[in-house]
Amino acid sequence: MKTQSNSAEVPAVVRALMSAHGLGPGALRSDGRLTLTFEDRYRVHLDHTPARRLALSAIVLDLSHHMEDAEVTQLLQTLTARGTGLLQSRATTLSLDTARRRVLLQQTFSVDIDLQRMEFELAEFVAALAFWTQSGIAQEAGNV
């Protein structure tokens, strides 16, 4: 996902989120991405795109061990079959990173939201991330 590289162009809602949580400008990476940690275990990356969208992403499963393309395809089919209800009821999606070595949870939404909505979206995203990581679904599917 291509992102803006100028942190001065950080959307107002992201600046408001940072302010509300006592995060200074140093919390932003040079590419404008903000990484947040929830419950000392969930790392969520918040990015903004040139299309005026905010993007949330997090690693669900590391596939650093060698997997053939057919195995990766089977893994994704297993994950989506096991999590169909969640995927249908939430705005999140599962995907592979470009190197096909990590299963990611992702969500995008407009930058034109207020802080309250931003907090809601983050809470929903972390709840979905917890489902995928704590339930063992991703780990079980990785052993298929």
User: What amino acid is encoded at 14 in this protein?
Assistant: V
Task: Find the Cα–Cα–Cα–Cα dihedral 121, 125, 130, 133, rounded to 10°.
Answer: -170
Non-local (6+) Cβ contacts of 101 within 8 A are 62, 63, 64
Which pLDDT tens digit goes with each residue over 114-143?
999 999 999 999 998 998 887 656 665 555
Quick one: which H or E segment has residue 93?
strand 93-96
The CATH number of domain 7-142 is 3.10.20.30:
no
Task: Give the integer Cα–Cα distance in Å for 125 and 123.
Answer: 5
pTM of whole model > 0.85? Answer: no
Q: Give residue limits of the domains in the chain.
A: 7-142
Strand order in the sheet with 102-110: 34-38, 42-48, 53-62, 102-110, 93-96
Q: Which residue has the higher pLDDT, 44 or 84?
A: 44
Which pLDDT tens digit goes with each residue over 45-75?
999 988 999 999 999 888 877 677 788 778 7
